[in-house]
Amino acid sequence: MFFRDRITTQESSTVRLLLGGKGTLTIREQSQVTLDESVTPEGTRRSVVGLLVGKIGAAIARSLMRPGEVIEIQTPNAVAAVRG
């Protein structure tokens, strides 16, 4: 899988991804998700999960994140973030 690839699930399917060893992302049925990553000017990593349609669940081990590291979840209606 590469950044900006789109993951699409069909009916009665689920995908589970490991996010850099810091957490898991569960993508539920009939969902579309994109993953992207960037480096801030300060040099910290910023991972972005874009939920286009459907449902996801994220379990992040905050204790494994470095200071300043961010995992952000963007949806058409809201944005949530976990900061290390």
The predicted pLDDT at position 41 comes to 82
Token representation of residue 38: 């960037």
pTM: 0.82
Cα 47 to Cα 32: distance, rounded to the nearest angstrom = 17
State the DSSP H helix or E strand holding residue 54, giving kind and residue range, or none if neither.
none
Contact 23, 58 (CB under 8 A): yes
Contact 64, 46 (CB under 8 A): no
Contact 26, 19 (CB under 8 A): no
Could you report the per-residue pLDDT of 20-77, keeping only the tens digit for each? 888 899 999 999 999 998 887 888 788 899 999 999 999 988 888 888 888 889 998 8
